[in-house]
Structure 1
Amino acid sequence: MTRTISIIPQPGKLEVGSGAFALTAETRIFASDASVPMGYYLARLLRPVIGFQLPGERTSTSPDTANAITLRLTPGSGKKRPAPESYALSVTDAGITIEAPRPAGLFYGVQTLRQFLPPAIESQTSPSGVAWTIPHVSIEDAPRYSWRGMHLDVSRHFFSVSFVKRYIDLLAMYKFNRFHWHLTDDQGWRIEIKSHPRLTEIGAWRTERDGTISGGFYTQDEIREVVDYAREHFITVVPEIEMPGHAQAALAAYPELACTSGPGEIAVWNRWGISKEVFCAGKEATFDLLEDVLAEVVALFPGPYVHVGGDECPKDRWSACDDCQARIQAEGLADENALQSYFIKRISRFLSKRNRQLIGWDEILEGGLAERAIVMSWRGTEGGIQAARAGHDVIMTPTSHCYFDYKHADRPDEPGQWGVIPLKKVYDYEPTPAELTPAEAQHVLGSQGNVWSESMPTTRDVEQMVFPRLCALAEVVWSPRGQRDWEDFKARLRAHGERLQALDVEYYRDQEIWPA
């Protein structure tokens, strides 16, 4: 591969020819009936920058013109049925063809095509003197994992709808297909719940230690806007509503749902870390509110998953709470860990009745796992291994490799918190633990990067912590394991920096990739 080709993630099979195809004012886009929306998407992507319009046509046959971009759905049949998100891309003198079994594959083929164009294609203006050429290539490509995710915490710091949509744009470009939206925590409740308005009237606003007020929330119309936008980019939004811990913002709004052993008055927390204030597991009113909340969440998010957190739930209040102890006795539970399992299983049953699958951090293993629950393994790989061996699906996201709030390098002036995760460590990550048998390994859906925003008050902070590690993770979850090559990736990423600049991404200048 030449240095001028810097596709990320690396396609599964790529052959490069000697010529190039040039986009001109005469180039046309042809799309079969089901491919028409993707034809419009491609035209919208190219038109503002290249300076001329690419007219589109609907066709059920191959075009009779050579200067064309053709998008075609080819579902296949029998044993040769291709992978759902796969695509094939061909560029010759005659034109460009993208074929895929499903629209998602066409979309990913377009993302690859855009990276073959000069980086100026990503700019917001129409530059002069740019040759819009694409090298002759033949590509057959499909993802390694079905879960290719990125997370964003909007509770510790709130980010606008426009930024969330930009974040989705960037995820889509690198073929991620899951957006894990962390909407509630001790420091802020960010989703409008019409049946319980105090969650945002009170829970969305935090008095900082200097007396200033910070916060915000998304209206239900804004949530729908983001969900629809993500769907158009073949990304499923996974909402996270934290319970039973990380609930202080909700309890500030409804303090009667805290334990009897609590302080009485509760404010939205203005510190980081783990609050002892958790939902009381002994009060029926707790489940009444959470079921109301989840009913509205399910109506807003059509995807099959709801993340309920389940992590870092201190048991101090439960141990001293009359209601929680009464629940333990009435249900014949062994201890507070079993009470947490009762809590999660009850919520899981509620979601199952609404055709949603519960996801939780690996603490949901404690006391027994809810039926069909998916485990997100963050405290190393042990939780994922345990869940996979028990027949549960898992998403691997250990702090050791996938926490993008950690520093890029071990230097005192580096932004970030907790630890250090260099770019190469992300690139070297293997999501499927070697300890699993082939049958157990089938339960590893994939991996995702997590972005906790305590140290990221601005959107530029988020971008600097995420990039270029997102690029490395994209290759981990998409490309074949056997062809991963650090030196080749470095060369591609070095060239890819110009594209990130054209996108106005505030990426971290890793000194090994971009020496000062």
Structure 2
Amino acid sequence: MPAEVQPARGALTIGDGATILADASDTGAVTAARLLVARVRTERGLTLQTVDRGKSAIRFVRDAATPKAEGYTLTVTPGGITIAAKDDAGLLYGAMTLSQLLSPDAAFGKPVRVAAVTIRDAPRFVWRGYMLDVARHFHSLESIRTIIDAMAAIKLNTLHLHLTDDQGWRVEIKRYPELTRIGAFRNAPTAGGTAPGPVHGGFYTQDELRTLVGYAQERGITIVPEIDLPGHAQAVVASYPQYGVMGDRPPVSGDWGVNPYLFNVDEPSMTFVENVLDELMAVFPSTFIHLGGDEAVKDQWRLSPAIQARMAALGIKTENGLQSWFIDRLGNYLAKHGRRLIGWDEILEGGLPPSASVMSWRGEKGAVDAATQGHDVVLAPAPTLYFDSLQTPRADEPAGRRYFVGLKDVYAYEPMPAGLAPDKAKHILGAEAPLFAEYMVTPRQVQHATFPRLAAIAEVTWSPREKRDFAGFLTRLDPQRLRYARSGIAAADTEYAVGYAIDGGAGKALRDGKARVTLATQIGQGRIRYTLDGSAPTARSRAYAAPLSVKPGVTIRAAAFTADGRATAAPRAFDTGRQALLTRSSTELTACPKGRAGLRAPVTPEATEWGPVFDINLFDGCSLYPAAPLDQASGFTIDVQRLPRHYGLAHEVTALVSHYNVSRFGELVVRSGGCDGTVVGLFPLPDPATAPARMTYSGKLGGKGDADLCMVFTAPLAGPFYAVATVALTPK
């Protein structure tokens, strides 16, 4: 949403062959014109042409009076369109606004009538960012360029690349080739057997990254590299054990979460880091260099006599103080080279080094503390801005963290923290949305998690706060979703998809012989239309107005439609058949009392398919089928999936719930009436080294009314994880 829009009289039509005037001696104008041509071709299907002299429908001009950096003025009159700015970024962003004006609807390939208007615009924040984790899963340069193009189109200007972690080192360092020969590759964890998992990995050469940096710079985007330290260092220690603490050589980790490996702090290790930074700075010209600082559990430092002696020699009393010294030294090193250090908010622990800026991810307290002390801050709080959080609770969402963060949640976020003194507001640089890629293996998975939520971040960080309006944003987002589709971006449609809920539950529907079904979308946009005859719904299908009353056995298919007849999402189906109503998938189960299913996990961490997925509580192998209609069933069949247990829990390991096993590999215990109810099934689990990863167990069941079915796995915590895939009750 632009800062200022002044409608005027008249209009101008732009069609194929319209010309764009850009002074050939003005590289910024020529680039903006070229990118405008490319975007309009993709998003509208029109071919515009650039010229460097003569009369033209569209002109780029310089205006030194533009008040703010990255700002522009876009003027549309019946005689032509002018984009004026004082800097290259302003010309680019004016071009991107014009590309939106030229693709306002679904009339692809047709001329566009643009109403006369004057737009004066500039960003609210200087840091408008997105973080892509390429350490957990390596992503191709082509897929990153697609992200960059999409960022530029919505005026985001910072791409934060998370290049290293326990699970992989992704940037070539010529002085230390083992970082990529060893550290860039890992074996995926397995759920049993003795053979190692498949190898995953890859890295970017310095030349490839320089090319990527240039590609991004041309589109107004700065790439900020992140080398995570002093924790998340297992890939480094696997490559060069002498720069670790313990002297051992672990494998590159296949475990997500928090692992114990830290950098050493002796002089050879500090020189190693400084040498790495030298090569990193030669590739990335960004002012900021991100050095992580998060989740560095200090046990190795605390237990190492050598580290303790180093602390004593430096006069440092705590391990948090040692991290502060570590970060401060590297911050000073970067400062000597004209760069600035930024790190996650854990660098506040032990005292914030004067040289540091903070990226606040654990809420906003760190942001307020840092800004109050005069340090610059970028807001990236979890889970609100973490795009690895699922967008909806729907069963057809892929793997990710089960914190549901939709468009409304992202759009409602305000980067300026409450409670910050007005004179410290200048230290809030902006915000970014991190995407940690533990479960993002393919470009499609990344795009689903990123879009369309990234459009909300763009408006939150660009537009004046008083101009923001969620209903208006959704209206503007409708043509933007069309642009994503035309650009080949697999944006999520799950918030727009129709969901179904049976009033009173499945048991009541089966007893009554009819199901009362409520239809709704999470986003609440569009008119829902449905069919009951098995056909796909269209814009002419019956409109939904009130809950439907159907006999069990009917399949409802529905989608929401825009005013011009376009489906806002692919149709979804709901089967009210007896067996369907008696069956629950993993994503329809709940955690046991006092637990939380915080993760939706794939079969393997390298899974490229959308499913199957399993909602699990990492700390307790217990799940519930709530309100199971026992009086409608004579038995049960439970499909079980064995999964890798590959989660670094650090000190949270004490929260693991151990269930006593009475057979060698543990059991599946099924209880009726909740987790303290009657045992109705006891099934020994097979040897995970030899048995298939999928198994099925059946038993008899009876009872009155609805009651919870509790399923507990008692497998030893040192072995793989078990999850319920489906529970199917046998109809009477």
When normalised by structure 1's length, the TM-score is: 0.91
- Structure 1 gaps of 5+ residues are 1-9
Alignment of 1:389-404 (within 5 A): 389-404=372-387
Cα distance, 1:57 vs structure 2: 1.1
Alignment of 1:155-170 (within 5 A): 155-170=135-150
Match of 2:123 in 1: 143
Match of 1:340 in 2: 323
What is the alpha-carbon distance in structure 1 between the residues aligned to residue 310 and residue 335 of structure 2? 23
Match of 1:153 in 2: 133
Cα distance, 1:368 vs structure 2: 1.5
Task: State which of 474, 497, 500 in structure 2 corresponds to 1:490.
Answer: 474
Amino acid at match of 1:143: P
> Is the alpha carbon distance of 1:121 and 1:170 closer, same or farther for their aligned partners in structure 2, counting shifts above 3 Å?
farther
Match of 2:36 in 1: 42
What is the alpha-carbon distance in structure 2 between the residues aligned to residue 74 and residue 475 of structure 1? 25
Name the SS for the 1:498 alignment partner: helix
What is the alpha-carbon distance in structure 2 between the residues aligned to residue 460 and residue 57 of structure 1? 39
Name the SS for the 1:501 alignment partner: helix
Q: Which moved more, 1:98-107 or 1:45-54?
A: 45-54
Match of 1:57 in 2: 52
Match of 1:5 in 2: none
What is the alpha-carbon distance in structure 2 between the residues aligned to residue 254 and residue 311 of structure 1? 21
Question: Is residue 2:232 matched to residue 1:237?
Answer: no
Question: Is residue 2:433 matched to residue 1:453?
Answer: no
Q: Point out the structure with the larger helix share.
A: 1
Cα distance, 1:102 vs structure 2: 0.8
Q: Are the equivalent residues in 1 in contact too, given 2:186–2:201 (CA < 8 A)?
A: yes
Match of 1:224 in 2: 210
Q: Point out the structure with the larger strand share.
A: 2
What is the alpha-carbon distance in structure 1 between the residues aligned to residue 88 and residue 424 of structure 2? 30
Match of 1:114 in 2: 99
Match of 2:162 in 1: 182
Amino acid at match of 1:73: R
Cα distance, 1:43 vs structure 2: 3.8
What is the alpha-carbon distance in structure 1 between the residues aligned to residue 395 and residue 322 of structure 2? 42
Match of 2:251 in 1: 267
Q: Which moved more, 1:503-512 or 1:48-57?
A: 48-57
What is the alpha-carbon distance in structure 2 between the residues aligned to residue 469 and residue 53 of structure 1? 30
Q: Percent identical across equivalent pairs?
A: 43
What is the alpha-carbon distance in structure 2 between the residues aligned to residue 396 and residue 52 of structure 1? 40
Cα distance, 1:403 vs structure 2: 0.4
Q: Are the equivalent residues in 2 in contact too, given 1:120–1:499 (CA < 8 A)?
A: no
Alignment of 1:64-103 (within 5 A): 65=55, 67-76=56-65, 82-103=67-88
Match of 2:309 in 1: 326
What is the alpha-carbon distance in structure 1 between the residues aligned to residue 141 and residue 105 of structure 2? 26
Match of 1:7 in 2: none
What is the alpha-carbon distance in structure 1 between the residues aligned to residue 225 and residue 124 of structure 2? 24
Q: Are the equivalent residues in 2 in contact too, given 1:73–1:103 (CA < 8 A)?
A: no
Alignment of 1:356-435 (within 5 A): 356-411=339-394, 413-415=396-398, 416-435=400-419
What is the alpha-carbon distance in structure 2 between the residues aligned to residue 252 and residue 483 of structure 1? 51
Question: For 1:73-101, what per-residue CA distance to the aligned partner results, in whole angstroms no more than 9, with x for missing partners?
Answer: 1112xxxx510111111112101100011
Cα distance, 1:495 vs structure 2: 3.7
Question: Is residue 2:3 matched to residue 1:12?
Answer: yes
Cα distance, 1:47 vs structure 2: 5.9
Cα distance, 1:25 vs structure 2: 5.5
Cα distance, 1:52 vs structure 2: 4.7
Say which one has the larger Rg.
2
Name the SS for the 1:379 alignment partner: coil
Task: State which of 10, 13, 17 in structure 2 corresponds to 1:22.
Answer: 13
What is the alpha-carbon distance in structure 2 between the residues aligned to residue 399 and residue 324 of structure 1? 32
Match of 1:3 in 2: none
What is the alpha-carbon distance in structure 1 between the residues aligned to residue 253 and residue 75 of structure 2? 54
Task: State which of 165, 173, 184 in structure 2 corresponds to 1:193.
Answer: 173
Q: Are the equivalent residues in 2 in contact too, given 1:374–1:392 (CA < 8 A)?
A: yes
Q: Which moved more, 1:95-104 or 1:34-43?
A: 34-43
Question: Is residue 2:308 matched to residue 1:293?
Answer: no
What is the alpha-carbon distance in structure 2 between the residues aligned to residue 55 and residue 338 of structure 1? 58
What is the alpha-carbon distance in structure 1 between the residues aligned to residue 146 and residue 243 of structure 2? 37
- Structure 2 gaps of 5+ residues are 191-196, 497-522, 527-559, 561-570, 572-732
What is the alpha-carbon distance in structure 2 between the residues aligned to residue 364 and residue 176 of structure 1? 26
Name the SS for the 1:507 alignment partner: coil
Question: For 1:235-255, what per-residue CA distance to the aligned partner results, in whole angstroms no more than 9, with x for missing partners?
Answer: 111000011001101111011
Task: State which of 300, 309, 316 in structure 2 corresponds to 1:317.
Answer: 300
What is the alpha-carbon distance in structure 2 between the residues aligned to residue 488 and residue 438 of structure 1? 29
What is the alpha-carbon distance in structure 2 between the residues aligned to residue 332 and residue 131 of structure 1? 72
Q: Are the equivalent residues in 2 in contact too, given 1:183–1:239 (CA < 8 A)?
A: yes
Amino acid at match of 1:112: T
Cα distance, 1:192 vs structure 2: 0.3
Amino acid at match of 1:97: T
Name the SS for the 2:258 alignment partner: coil
Higher relative contact order (CA 8 A, sep 6+): 1
Name the SS for the 1:148 alignment partner: strand
Cα distance, 1:46 vs structure 2: 4.4
Question: For 1:435-492, what per-residue CA distance to the aligned partner results, in whole angstroms no more than 9, with x for missing partners?
Answer: 0111111110000000000111111111111111111111100001001111111222
Q: Are the equivalent residues in 2 in contact too, given 1:46–1:121 (CA < 8 A)?
A: no
